[in-house]
Amino acid sequence: MPKEIPTEEKSVRERGTYAEHGDDATLASYLSSLFFLLSVPGLVLVAYAGYWSGWYDEPTVVPVFAGLFVAALAVAFGVMHVRTGR
């Protein structure tokens, strides 16, 4: 049975945001949220920038975006793995 069960004092959002680090959200949690908020629009912009620069044709934009997205996720999970040591 998990120790952290829903109560009226803490909402599900509060338990997720402040889990295991006191009352305040950490810089890492803010950076993680910012990464997931901006990664898709940013990577779409980067993929189209390559097309506008003439590096590849328009049909190649989607595969380039997919590759950039997978690479960004791999880097994010790699950083989390190194930072947490798990």
| SS3 sequence of 32-69 | HHHHHHHHHHHHHHHHHHHHHCCCCCHHHHHHHHHHHH
* pLDDT tens sequence across 6-39: 556 666 566 665 555 555 667 777 888 888 899 9
Calpha distance 45→22 (Å, rounded) = 37
48 closest CA partner among 31, 33, 36, 60: 60
* Calpha distance 69→42 (Å, rounded): 10
Whole-model pTM above 0.75? no
Per-residue pLDDT reduced to its tens digit, 48-68: 999 999 999 999 999 999 999
Give the domain ranges of the chain. 25-84
